[in-house]
């Protein structure tokens, strides 16, 4: 019988934790699993995916015994470290259409728009205080190569009769962001920013209040399949009839999943609070902003006037080796400092008080995959959010809950379900070496394009070998 071994995450400590987790404050940790326990459904991973899945299961079957096992604390992974940019899938409708067809793509995009409404009502009802500000999501160009990156998605969205985007000119961008670095773009109207760790912690509280059992500081080290699955942890075991693997990038430990995914690092910095300076340059709102370079820049102004500024670093993990540098990069955030200074010269002297990193679970076609493990009809997984998860994981929760409950509905029939239909990647070490080369080329191309310099044709050719778009 196949057994699966999971590599435990390297835990981030103290200052390596994201600004968001530190800002949200410590909430009491639930006790680790000890002894031999049972559940109807066991979920591995207490990020948005695991928490939303638990909540969806409880919505449909309140008496179901659902237990989450989390290696660190809920939100310690990407969910408590991300850029806090909230936007629907309409920006990727072209990509979705290629993989799942037009009808399903529209349905998934609308589901993420509904998820944004759901976040809004969770905040409005006082259920989760997550600093959600739906002031818009700006997708902009700051160099010639970036111009019109949004065109396909914009045209397709409009053709489907959805009125989500508005065109932006240089003055409008400057008015809303306080910067003239970007000069054209689009904005998704009902989108914006969130304090991501507060969202994760709020979902955790909600899950606990609905009777979900959560054991934190409980890494699952091995999975023994069967009609009843046994999850091994350092101090005990959990037996469950059905299991959901929601451990994001760390699921690269499972060979059949690694075939379809690779893990890259994204780095973020947070400045000291500079509210007066930001007010002065006219950046007062809660918009989320990103540009259209391959190593995308994403940034927001927090309600207290810090700038949170992130960028895909290009660093890739070898297989499932997600080391300490995926908690905090080794380059003292030099890339982000440079880019922050380019977009906001006024902030060149602002102190960077926090810098951290997180692993991003990427798939070859840039979209998530849901299914059960081969030959294990009761062990489900969801991987591959590709750095866009806040409005997408509530949808993942629906899909995974329907799979677990054996429902035949729009969620279980989603064309994102089914790993065999999806692209695979070369094995290690070819993948790592190839990816390193391609990502180096992307970086060189990016750096040239930001300055409107000519790109060396060999660099351009190699950069275009990347999977996805
Ligand atoms: C730096 C960064 C910036 C991002 N920016 C944005 C953004 O601005 N907007 C957006 O929409 N999305 C963004 N994302 C993506 C988004 O954060 C993710 O898609 C989302 O958080 C995925 O949720 P998850 O629950 O699948 O993963 P995670 O939050 O990573 O949860 C997985 C959990 O599994 C736990 N775990 C791992 N192994 C084990 C084990 N063996 N046993 C038990 N538990 C285990 C981990 O500790 C972790 O808590 C970003 C991601 C990163 C890393």
Is 69's pLDDT higher than 80? yes
Mean pLDDT of the chain: 95
Sign for the pseudo-dihedral over CA of 197, 199, 202, 207? negative
The model's pLDDT over 208-252, given as tens digits with 9 standing for 90+, comes to 999 999 999 999 999 999 999 999 999 999 999 999 999 999 999
Output the residue whose Cα is nearest ligand 1's atom 12: 388
Atom of ligand 1 nearest to the CA of 220: 42
In whole angstroms, how large is the CA radius of gyration of the chain? 21
Query: What's the rounded mean pLDDT across residues 48-55?
Result: 98
Number of C-beta neighbours around residue 337 at 10 A: 18
Query: What's the rounded mean pLDDT across residues 111-122?
Result: 98
Separation of alpha carbons 425 and 55, rounded Å: 33
Query: What's the rounded mean pLDDT across residues 67-84?
Result: 98
pTM of the model: 0.97
Of 42-46, 275-279, 441-445, give the lowest mean pLDDT range: 441-445
Is 119's pLDDT higher than 50? yes
Atom of ligand 1 nearest to the CA of 247: 34
What is the share, in percent, of the chain residues with pLDDT greater than 70? 99
Is 445's pLDDT higher than 60? yes
Q: What is the DSSP string of 4-58?
A: EE-PPPPPP-GGGS-HHHHHH---PPPPPP-EEEEEEEEEE--SHHHHHHHHHHH
CB burial of 416-440 (b: ≥16 within 10 Å; e: otherwise) equals bbebeebeebeeeeebbebbeebbe
- Indicate whether residue 44 lines ligand 1 (CB < 6 A): yes
Q: What pairs with residue 188 in β-bridges?
A: 137, 165
- Indicate whether residue 89 lines ligand 1 (CB < 6 A): no
Query: What's the rounded mean pLDDT across residues 440-451?
Result: 88
Kindly give the distance from the C-alpha atom of residue 117 to the centroid of ligand 1, in angstroms, as a whole number: 21
Query: What's the rounded mean pLDDT across residues 171-200?
Result: 97
Query: What's the rounded mean pLDDT across residues 94-110?
Result: 96
Coil, helix or strand at residue 88: coil
Atom of ligand 1 nearest to the CA of 356: 1
Please name which of 261, 238, 280, 229 lies closest in space to residue 387, comparing C-alpha atoms. Answer: 261
pLDDT value of position 1: 61
What is the share, in percent, of the chain residues with pLDDT greater than 90? 87
Separation of alpha carbons 320 and 379, rounded Å: 20
- Indicate whether residue 8 lines ligand 1 (CB < 6 A): yes
- Indicate whether residue 247 lines ligand 1 (CB < 6 A): yes
pLDDT value of position 286: 97
Cis peptide before 429 (omega within 30 of 0): yes
- Indicate whether residue 78 lines ligand 1 (CB < 6 A): yes
Atom of ligand 1 nearest to the CA of 290: 8
- Indicate whether residue 394 lines ligand 1 (CB < 6 A): no
Please check whether residue 357 is in contact with residue 329, taking contact to mean a CB–CB distance below 8 angstroms: yes
Number of C-beta neighbours around residue 350 at 10 A: 20
Atom of ligand 1 nearest to the CA of 87: 11
Between residues 456 and 79, which one has the greater pLDDT? 79
Is 469's pLDDT higher than 60? no
pLDDT value of position 28: 86
- Indicate whether residue 48 lines ligand 1 (CB < 6 A): yes
Separation of alpha carbons 242 and 224, rounded Å: 12
- Indicate whether residue 388 lines ligand 1 (CB < 6 A): yes
């Amino acid at each position: 019988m196949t057994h699966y071994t999971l590599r435990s995450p390297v835990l981030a400590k103290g200052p390596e934790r994201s600004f968001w987790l530190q800002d949200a404050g410590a909430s009491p940790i639930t006790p680790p699993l000890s002894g031999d326990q049972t559940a109807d459904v066991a979920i591995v991973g207490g990020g948005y995916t695991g928490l939303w899945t638990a909540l969806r299961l409880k919505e449909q079957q309140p008496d179901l015994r659902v237990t989450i096992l989390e290696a660190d604390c809920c939100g310690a992974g990407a969910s408590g470290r991300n850029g806090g940019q909230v936007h629907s899938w309409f920006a990727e409708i072209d990509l979705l259409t290629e993989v799942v067809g037009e009808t399903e793509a529209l349905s998934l995009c609308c589901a993420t728009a509904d998820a944004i409404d759901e976040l809004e009502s969770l905040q409005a009802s006082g259920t989760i205080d997550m600093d959600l500000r739906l002031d818009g999501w700006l997708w902009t160009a700051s160099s010639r190569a970036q111009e019109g990156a949004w065109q396909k998605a914009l045209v397709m969205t409009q053709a489907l009769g959805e009125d989500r985007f508005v065109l932006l000119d240089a003055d409008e961008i400057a008015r809303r962001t306080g910067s003239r670095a970007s000069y054209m773009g689009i904005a998704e109207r009902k989108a914006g920013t969130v304090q991501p760790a507060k969202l994760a912690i709020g979902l955790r509280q909600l899950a606990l209040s609905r009777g979900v059992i959560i054991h934190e500081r409980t890494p699952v080290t091995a999975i023994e399949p069967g009609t009843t699955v046994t999850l091994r942890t350092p101090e005990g075991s959990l037996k469950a009839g059905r299991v959901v693997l929601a451990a994001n990038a760390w699921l690269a430990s499972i060979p059949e999943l690694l075939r379809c995914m690779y893990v890259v690092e994204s780095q973020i910095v947070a400045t000291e609070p500079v509210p007066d300076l930001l007010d002065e340059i006219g950046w007062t709102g809660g918009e989320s902003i990103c540009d259209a370079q391959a190593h995308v820049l994403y940034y927001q102004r927090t309600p207290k006037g810090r700038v949170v500024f992130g960028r895909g670093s290009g660093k890739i993990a070898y297989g499932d080796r997600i080391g300490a540098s995926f908690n905090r990069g080794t380059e003292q955030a030099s890339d982000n400092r440079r880019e922050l200074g380019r977009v906001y010269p006024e902030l060149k002297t602002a102190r960077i008080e926090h810098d951290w990193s997180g692993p991003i679970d990427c798939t070859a076609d840039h979209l998530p995959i849901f299914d059960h493990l081969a030959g294990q009809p009761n062990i489900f997984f969801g991987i591959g959010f590709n750095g866009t998860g806040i409005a997408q994981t509530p949808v993942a929760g629906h899909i995974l809950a329907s799979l677990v409950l054996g429902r035949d509905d729009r969620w279980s029939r989603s064309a994102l379900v089914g790993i065999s239909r999806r692209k695979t990647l070369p094995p290690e070490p070819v993948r790592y070496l190839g990816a390193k080369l391609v990502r180096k080329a992307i970086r060189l191309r990016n750096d040239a394009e930001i300055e409107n310099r000519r790109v060396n044709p060999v660099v351009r050719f190699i950069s275009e070998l990347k999977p996805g778009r």
